[in-house]
């Protein structure tokens, strides 16, 4: 126990920088008024694409330094993957997958892909948010299964993966001190594996997720240029920084000489196509007036205003419900060249019809079970994972 506490302390000090704890910006760090004021004042600090790129560089370096990303191996090779239990559904296939992010740590998830595909497929990463009620957890939730199945039916290979400590990711707790960096690194390693396959078109790669999955979407897009299209959902906020250690547990928004927020971090996607989805019932309720005008200024500076899209649902709440999924389907259809003829439309409403999707029970989606256990070399517990993760660093 004493060794565990010592390792946690060392890791926390290592990542946050000694004496940097006051640099954390967590949860509702600002009021709505303070967030709006920051956007207005910061918009006046740069005037064109060159001065924005200069600022974008400072923001990106802030994330890299604050998270310890620069100490991780940048080209660690192609990770080993287990792909099993292929299930043929109505027009798509579901497989249970584990990717070995680093020796002894497994990123568990599901691949959804078209039942028939002769062409190279676009890729969509689907991280999930902090939904963790029994029977309604992470990648097993119905909204996750539906959007993954729909995109697969439209021709994409989709990877839905567990955030650390969720569902099958029981090697660690979610509130492990290194959650921010570990989770993003797992996303990078998933890309390393998926883009090594010869059936993926590396020019058509997207990411989408809601809430904490929205944070994963804009953070990984900011750090990894291999992502070409981004759809962060119900998360981009001027005043709210994410309430979990995996979103704001490291000093990535603030350093001695700069302050930023999640709007500017989402803006690092530019000039890549981005769709921001917001609603009236959470910290994205001001998007039309506060956050989107700032992002629009960035895309205008690139003279590519049409590559930023926004969908606001003032009567809706914090979720990735059908109406939000529908605008995402349209956006990804356009930017990933997906095939809408392969999906069903309701003749009366003209809307996407997800009724062909059959939800699978948790047990059918698990990679590991009693008959096929996790490999014997698997790390166990926060202490072992922290020690192995710190060994990766140069
Ligand atoms: Zn979290």
Alpha helix (H) ranges present in 93-211? 142-153, 179-194
135 band by pLDDT with thresholds 50, 70 and 90: confident
Long-range CB contact pairs, 129-138, < 8 A, 24+? 129/209, 129/210, 129/211, 129/212, 129/213, 129/214, 129/320, 130/163, 130/211, 130/212, 130/244, 131/211, 132/166, 137/166, 137/167, 137/362, 138/162, 138/163, 138/166, 138/167
CA distance 241 to 243: 7
- Whole-number Å distance, alpha carbon 7 to ligand 1 midpoint, is 21
- Whole-number Å distance, alpha carbon 116 to ligand 1 midpoint, is 36
- Whole-number Å distance, alpha carbon 362 to ligand 1 midpoint, is 21
- Whole-number Å distance, alpha carbon 117 to ligand 1 midpoint, is 35
| Per-residue model confidence as pLDDT tens digits over 236-261 | 999 999 999 999 889 999 998 899 99
- Whole-number Å distance, alpha carbon 92 to ligand 1 midpoint, is 30
| Per-residue model confidence as pLDDT tens digits over 71-83 | 999 889 999 999 9
Question: What pLDDT score was predicted for residue 16?
Answer: 47
pTM of the model: 0.94
Angle at 146 between CA 141 and CA 149, to 5 degrees: 125
Q: Is 96 helix (H, G, I), strand (E, B) or coil?
A: strand
- Whole-number Å distance, alpha carbon 84 to ligand 1 midpoint, is 28
pLDDT at 17 over 60: no
- Whole-number Å distance, alpha carbon 246 to ligand 1 midpoint, is 4
- Whole-number Å distance, alpha carbon 221 to ligand 1 midpoint, is 18
- Whole-number Å distance, alpha carbon 371 to ligand 1 midpoint, is 30
Query: Residue 257: which H helix or E strand, with range?
Result: none
- Whole-number Å distance, alpha carbon 212 to ligand 1 midpoint, is 6
Q: Which residues surround ligand 1, an ion (CB under 5 A)?
A: 244, 246
Q: Which residues contact 13 (CB under 8 A, 6 or more apart)?
A: none
pLDDT at 196 over 90: yes
Question: What pLDDT score was predicted for residue 153?
Answer: 96
- Whole-number Å distance, alpha carbon 301 to ligand 1 midpoint, is 33
| Per-residue model confidence as pLDDT tens digits over 278-290 | 999 999 999 999 9
- Whole-number Å distance, alpha carbon 245 to ligand 1 midpoint, is 6
Segment 157-169 mean pLDDT: 97
Query: pLDDT above 70 covers what percent of the chain?
Result: 94
Segment 199-222 mean pLDDT: 98
| Per-residue model confidence as pLDDT tens digits over 340-377 | 887 878 778 878 999 999 999 999 999 999 999 999 99
- Whole-number Å distance, alpha carbon 172 to ligand 1 midpoint, is 12
393 band by pLDDT with thresholds 50, 70 and 90: confident
- Whole-number Å distance, alpha carbon 175 to ligand 1 midpoint, is 7
- Whole-number Å distance, alpha carbon 130 to ligand 1 midpoint, is 6
pLDDT at 46 over 50: yes
Please give the mean pLDDT across all residues of the chain. Answer: 93
- Whole-number Å distance, alpha carbon 210 to ligand 1 midpoint, is 12
Question: What pLDDT score was predicted for residue 394?
Answer: 66
Query: pLDDT above 90 covers what percent of the chain?
Result: 85
- Whole-number Å distance, alpha carbon 201 to ligand 1 midpoint, is 30
| Per-residue model confidence as pLDDT tens digits over 171-184 | 999 999 999 999 99
- Whole-number Å distance, alpha carbon 249 to ligand 1 midpoint, is 9
Check: CATH 3.40.50.1820 for 81-365? yes
Scan for tokens 């802030």, then name that residue: 62
Question: What pLDDT score was predicted for residue 5?
Answer: 47
- Whole-number Å distance, alpha carbon 350 to ligand 1 midpoint, is 37
3-state secondary structure 30-83: CCHHHHHHHHHHHHCCCCCHHHHHHHHHHHHHHHHHHHCHHHCCCCCCCCCEEE
CA distance 125 to 128: 10
Q: Residue 131's CB: how many other CB atoms inside 10 A?
A: 20
């Amino acid at each position: 126990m004493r060794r565990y506490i010592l390792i946690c302390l060392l890791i926390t000090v290592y990542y946050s920088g000694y004496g940097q704890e006051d640099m954390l910006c967590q949860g509702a760090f600002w009021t709505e008024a303070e967030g709006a004021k920051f956007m207005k004042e910061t918009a006046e600090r740069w005037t064109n694409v060159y001065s924005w790129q200069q600022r974008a560089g400072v923001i990106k370096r802030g994330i890299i330094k604050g998270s310890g990303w620069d100490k991780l191996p940048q080209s660690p090779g192609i990770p080993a993957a287990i792909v099993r239990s292929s299930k043929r559904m109505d027009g798509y296939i579901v497989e249970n997958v584990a990717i070995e992010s680093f020796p002894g740590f497994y990123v568990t998830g599901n691949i959804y892909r078209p039942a028939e595909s002769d062409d190279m497929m676009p890729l969509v990463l689907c991280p999930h948010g902090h939904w963790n009620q029994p029977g309604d957890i992470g990648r097993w939730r119905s909204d996750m299964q539906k959007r993954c199945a729909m995109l697969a039916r439209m021709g994409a290979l989709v990877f839905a993966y567990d955030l650390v400590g969720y569902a099958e990711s029981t090697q660690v707790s979610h509130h492990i001190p290194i959650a921010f960096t570990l989770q993003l690194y797992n996303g990078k390693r998933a890309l390393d594996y998926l883009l090594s396959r010869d059936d993926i078109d590396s020019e058509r790669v997207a990411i989408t997720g809601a809430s904490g999955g929205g944070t994963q979407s804009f953070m990984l897009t900011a750090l990894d240029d291999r992502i070409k299209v981004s759809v962060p959902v119900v998360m981009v906020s001027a005043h709210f920084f994410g309430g979990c250690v995996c979103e704001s547990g490291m000093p990535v928004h603030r350093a001695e000489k700069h302050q930023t927020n999640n709007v500017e971090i989402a803006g690092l996607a530019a000039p890549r196509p981005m769709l921001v989805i917001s609603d009236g019932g959470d910290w994205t309720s001001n998007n039309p007036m506060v956050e989107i005008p700032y992002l629009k200024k960035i895309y205008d500076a690139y003279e590519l205003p049409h590559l930023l899209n926004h969908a606001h649902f003032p009567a809706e709440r914090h979720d990735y419900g059908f109406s939000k999924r529908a605008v995402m389907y349209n956006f990804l259809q356009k930017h990933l060249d997906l095939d809408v003829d392969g999906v069903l439309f309701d003749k009366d409403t003209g809307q996407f019809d997800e009724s062909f999707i059959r939800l699978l029970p948790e047990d059918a989606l698990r990679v590991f079970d009693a008959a096929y256990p996790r490999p014997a070399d698997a790390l166990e517990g926060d202490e072992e994972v922290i020690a192995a993760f710190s060994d990766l660093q140069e």
